[in-house]
Structure 1
Amino acid sequence: MDRFLAWWRTSSEGLNWNWLEHIALLLAAAAFSWLVWKVVFGKLVSVSKTTKTQWDTIVLESVSVPISVLIWLWPSSYAIDSLLEVTSKASTDWFAISRRVMLFGVVLWILLRLVNKVEAYLMTSETRDQTTVSAMGHIFRLLLAVVGVLTALQEFGISLTGLLTFGGVGGLIVGLAAKDLLSNFFGGLMIYFDRPFSVGDWISSPDRNIEGTVERIGMRMTMLRSFESRPIYVPNSVFSSIVVQNPSRMQHRRINETFGLRYKDADKMAVVVADVKKMLEAHPDIEQRATMMVNFDAFAGSSLNFFIYTFTKTVNWAKYHEVKQDVMLKIVEIVHGHGADFAFPTRTVSFDNGDMAEANIPLPEQLNATPNQD
């Protein structure tokens, strides 16, 4: 504390204290400008709430905080510049550069907030692909960050030519050291551009033990949620070398089932098959434009088999099983309605008397005879 007081006495000797009035005027102007901005901003928000579009609200929310910060920082920088000039007698030319960087930083801040809010707004829309929206948000944020860093370096006098030359050599070294990271990054870009799946899709891979619902597609890895609610984190580079099935983009789901009637119901097979086909043709949840087959198929070991091959209109997994259950219950009603029934595994063995004698199998009367006591 003593050192500070000594420095202040030395620095303030012979000073013209008019700079205090300048600082006070600058801060008062900042306070007045901030109050005016708050009043104007409140009026603009009230007007935006009466419009049908959300874009004006998004723009206002993006600029509100950065402009408030700029209103205080801009005059404050002049006040600090004046204070340092009269106390330290040092050059304060770098303050002019700082103000330009600050102004550009506020503009960059506004653009970043605008990108984030537009992305959040578009993600709530059901008509837009969330994967594409997220990809464009990542790309715009990355571009703004690169432009901001390069502009700041140029303003402070750092040569971009030398930096880019060093970046070429350094980039080669970093690329060799972090090839897996880069492959995952470019794998994420390929997912964004090719769009084999989107957020919310259920995907699986026959090549790997990967199956679940896509929850997030990042720049390095994709997160899935399995049916056991376990998170699965897959590096994006994996998707460039495996086959991915996307059942969420199916047009229909297939019902392919076989039913067996008893052999003694052979005379009812034709009418059962015909009625089952009529039922499918009249069913509201069966796709009539897709392949539909109902045919007697095989003489099985214990049954006469017929099969159905058809498709549902829905691709929803739960709804599909409800439709399948309804179709199978209607088939049970049709079979029973014709006095037939379903077969189950049975085996019938028959003998005639001649075969039984040759096999030395005792006849029923021999089984009841009294054994000879002699």
Structure 2
Amino acid sequence: MIRSAKYLFLSILFIVLTPSVFFASTMFPLEPPDTSSPRATLKSFIHYTNEVYLVASSPNEDFKLELEYLQRAARCFDFSKVPPTLLSDVSVESVLRLREILDRFDLPDMNDVPDKEDVKSTGLDKWRMPHTEIIIGKVVNSPRSGAFLFTPETVRRLEEFYNEIRYLPYVKNDLDVNYNGIYEQYIYSSGWMIPDGFLSDLPAWMKRGYFGQAVWQWVGIFLLLGVGLFLIWVMWLINKRMKCRFDGCSWEIGRLLFPFSGMFMCGFLEYLIARQVNITGQVLAVFIMGLEAVFFIFSGIAIIVTGNVVIHGIISSSKINEEALDADVIKLVVRLVTFCLVFILFYNAGSYFGVPVTAVFASAGIAGVAVALAARETLANFFGGVSIFMDRPFRAGDYIVLESGERGEVKAVGMRSTRLLTRDDILITIPNSVITNVKITNQSLPEPHFRVRIKIGVAYGSDVDKVEALLLEEAHKNALVVDSPAPRVRFRAFGDSSLEYELLCWAGHPQNRGRVVHEISRDIYKKFNSEGILIPFPQRDVHLHATDWNSLKEKDEA
């Protein structure tokens, strides 16, 4: 008998998932079990499980050799339909269950089991063990194509077969070797963290099995899940409080605490439930796959939160205007990377759980074409945003004039639309697909200064030197006018009623244009009045002469 069922817990770590690293001196390390025919596979399985028992029951037990034999026995099964997340546990259980089944009835004569020659001559692709539904079938379209293995359907139904024969007596075989309930010892035993004395001191009712697990195992499962949920809830509360402390920081690393603690808790609970409480069968599949699913969900949350932390950190540390296109492009790039990582994560998760993800994503690709056609306007706006980013005709803070006449400050340039705040404090949202196809005047480029023209006429006879000096003086006095380029005055024309001048100066920003015109015009008017310079206005003199109305009447009658 195997010295302790606890050793089988450790064997999970070596079967199928990891290459064999322990070899006996009489064994070839790379030689696989013979699975060239149903006879060879059945003989290999019986041989290696017998060797496991013989080595385990010998005075000088070689645990490494036990693991090697156990691994080779597991290679007689086709586990292609088993999700990778359950493969190690299912491998051990399948070996023990099948051996327990075979020990309870007479095996067929090996001469009656098809060998390699029978397979070649008859084209046999599967063989069913007499009086059972246990099938050994030929593998196709797999790295082990051509091998005869216990079929995936047999693997799936082993628990059902075992439950049907578990109360039957053992039948002696040629080596007088049987496992004498080792499977039940395995499923009802505990891991190294739970002392043997603790289980032996439990009352009998705690050791009774329900749905393949002992009562103490059910208690342990729900106790661990309850503690795990409580700890995750505590970490969520801590994370909420830490958010307030990190709100002023550039890199809010503390936001990663909750998802990463959730990932750790799921992994730790999985280890405790599967390896220490040692649940098995369908119950194991439900709990482990559930914990793995939650782990992947926390992983996805961690990726998304990490992306948000990176976005906020880059934008804050680089002093980038959050409403500018640069910030929007940074957000887009980081979120695309985040989306790709989440896609890869859940693609691998689907493969991990045995879901045919290729077919799912192929169907999603067809649906994606329909979505793309329905969202063509959104895509046009997106590529319009890319065009704005590449050409840089304007950016947030610039003053632009559209072809339709709207003028205002660009408040935000997004990947879908651009928002423009007019001087009337009206916010206009323009789709990027529209704004990239119209004429745009950017009054903030190449320099942010905006040229202001103020036309004024003075009366004929005015001192033109004085007029020009006064105009320049008022321009220099205004705080909104820049010194470079310097203000200047131009004598434009001799008008009908005045000498026409034009004051040219530059406002510091386009939005100050109206205020500069207002202030300088008002100051010029006051200054000219105080200096006695007349600003004429157009006028006409109408002269009326006396008319002989009688003569006009006679002319009309003639």
Same fold (TM over 0.5): yes
How far apart, in 2, do the equivalents of 1:165 and 1:67 lie?
Answer: 32
Shift of the alpha carbon at 1:124? 6.4
1:234 matches 2:430: yes
Alignment deviations for residues 344-373 of structure 1 (CA, whole Å, 9 cap, x no partner): 12113579xxxx7xx8689xxxxxxxxxxx
Number of positions where the alignment pairs a residue of Structure 1 with one of Structure 2: 333
Shift of the alpha carbon at 1:298? 1.7
Shift of the alpha carbon at 1:59? 0.2
1:286 matches 2:477: no
Residue of 471, 477, 491 corresponding to 1:296: 491
How far apart, in 2, do the equivalents of 1:295 and 1:222 lie?
Answer: 39
How far apart, in 2, do the equivalents of 1:15 and 1:163 lie?
Answer: 35
Structure 2 residue aligned with 1:271: 466
Residue of 394, 415, 435 corresponding to 1:197: 394
What percentage of aligned pairs have identical amino acids?
22
Letter paired with 2:471: V
Q: CA distance change for structure 1 residues 215 and 105 in 2, over 3 Å: closer, same or farther?
A: farther
Shift of the alpha carbon at 1:307? 1.5
Q: Is the 8 A contact 1:201 1:246 kept in 2?
A: yes
SS of alignment partner, residue 463 of structure 2: helix
How far apart, in 2, do the equivalents of 1:23 and 1:306 lie?
Answer: 93
Gaps of 5+ in 2: 1-208, 550-558
* Correspondence list, 1:173-252, <5 A: 175-176=372-373, 178-206=375-403, 208=404, 210-249=406-445, 250-252=447-449
Structure 2 residue aligned with 1:328: 521
Q: CA distance change for structure 1 residues 120 and 245 in 2, over 3 Å: closer, same or farther?
A: farther
Alignment deviations for residues 256-296 of structure 1 (CA, whole Å, 9 cap, x no partner): 11111223xx1423322233234435655433331533133
SS of alignment partner, residue 90 of structure 1: helix
How far apart, in 1, do the equivalents of 2:462 and 2:423 lie?
Answer: 46
How far apart, in 2, do the equivalents of 1:260 and 1:316 lie?
Answer: 26
SS of alignment partner, residue 536 of structure 2: coil
Letter paired with 2:433: S
Residue of 39, 54, 68 corresponding to 2:249: 54
Q: Is the 8 A contact 1:84 1:90 kept in 2?
A: no
How far apart, in 1, do the equivalents of 2:371 and 2:225 lie?
Answer: 48
How far apart, in 2, do the equivalents of 1:106 and 1:271 lie?
Answer: 79
Shift of the alpha carbon at 1:339? 2.1
Alignment deviations for residues 73-100 of structure 1 (CA, whole Å, 9 cap, x no partner): 45566788899966xx537547656655
Alignment deviations for residues 223-244 of structure 1 (CA, whole Å, 9 cap, x no partner): 4444455543322211221222
Structure 1 residue aligned with 2:80: none
Structure 1 residue aligned with 2:108: none
Q: Is the 8 A contact 2:303 2:342 kept in 1?
A: no
Gaps of 5+ in 1: 1-10, 363-374
Q: Is the 8 A contact 1:85 1:92 kept in 2?
A: yes
How far apart, in 2, do the equivalents of 1:119 and 1:203 lie?
Answer: 29
How far apart, in 2, do the equivalents of 1:81 and 1:338 lie?
Answer: 99
RMSD across aligned C-alpha pairs, in angstroms?
4.6
How far apart, in 2, do the equivalents of 1:243 and 1:33 lie?
Answer: 60
Q: CA distance change for structure 1 residues 222 and 97 in 2, over 3 Å: closer, same or farther?
A: farther
Bigger mean CA deviation after superposition, 170-179 or 112-121: 170-179
Structure 1 residue aligned with 2:257: 64
Letter paired with 1:254: R
Structure 1 residue aligned with 2:348: 154
SS of alignment partner, residue 214 of structure 2: coil
Letter paired with 1:310: C
How far apart, in 2, do the equivalents of 1:191 and 1:325 lie?
Answer: 35
Structure with the bigger percentage of helix: 1
Q: Is the 8 A contact 2:448 2:510 kept in 1?
A: no
Larger Rg: 2
Structure 2 residue aligned with 1:315: 509
